[in-house]
Amino acid sequence: MKTPLELFLVMTMSKPIHVNDVEAVVDSSIVLDTNIWLYLYGPNAYSGNQHTRMYSRVYSDILKNRNVIILENSVISEFSNRFIRINHEVLKKTENAPKLYKDFRNSDYFKPVGEELRDTVLNMIDDTKVEFVGEEELDFEEIFQSFSEGGMDYTDALLVNMCKSRDYFLLTHDFDYHNSNIKLISGNSRYFP
């Protein structure tokens, strides 16, 4: 007998699952793309942002349904870099922070940003299982083939490889995954014409 999730996946025939139907995903592992982490914990995350509200609800629903949220190492790196660069752009305009990124990282302006990033990433880790893609499961040929065709950056291709090899879902708002043939959850209307 098929579980409700298996029946739902058969019915959707590998189409992405809309975030409004995420309650069908139970006892699964779900990788969150960097854009989701930025909506939840990024410098521009606030309750008035529609994406922040939507994905905060989805995050809560995922945890209620006994799913495991996977935080992949390269996502931590990508999130950290974007977090710092977003803050740098704001501080250049509002506080006269150094214009060059390297100069900013060595300035007094960086310390509170670095501390906020540290606290944010540690909070992210609290609700997640941090995983690394092992060398034995990396398919560099497939990763760089996807990357070379455009549309996907290296981290996107790496996450697709991880989700395929481990049968994980990916929660994203990024449309770059539209041809990836993985179990996908999204609130991006482009997936649902």
pTM for the structure as a whole: 0.88
Per residue in 27-60, pLDDT (tens digit) is 999 999 999 999 999 998 887 889 999 999 999 9
Tokens of 113: 């940003």
Question: Residue 13 pLDDT more than 50?
Answer: no
Question: Residue 159 pLDDT more than 50?
Answer: yes
Rounded to whole angstroms, the Cα distance separating 28 from 69 reads 9
Which residues lie closer than 8 Å to 51 by C-beta, 6 or more apart? 39, 173, 187
Q: In 42-184, which ranges are continuous DSSP H helix?
A: 50-64, 73-94, 101-105, 110-126, 140-148, 154-166
Q: Quick one: pLDDT at residue 145?
A: 81
Per residue in 17-26, pLDDT (tens digit) is 999 999 999 9
Rounded to whole angstroms, the Cα distance separating 79 from 73 reads 10
Please state the domain extents for the chain: 4-72+127-188
Per residue in 59-76, pLDDT (tens digit) is 999 999 999 999 999 999
Terminal Cα distance for the chain, rounded:
32
Q: Architecture of domain 4-72+127-188 in CATH?
A: 3-Layer(aba) Sandwich (3.40)
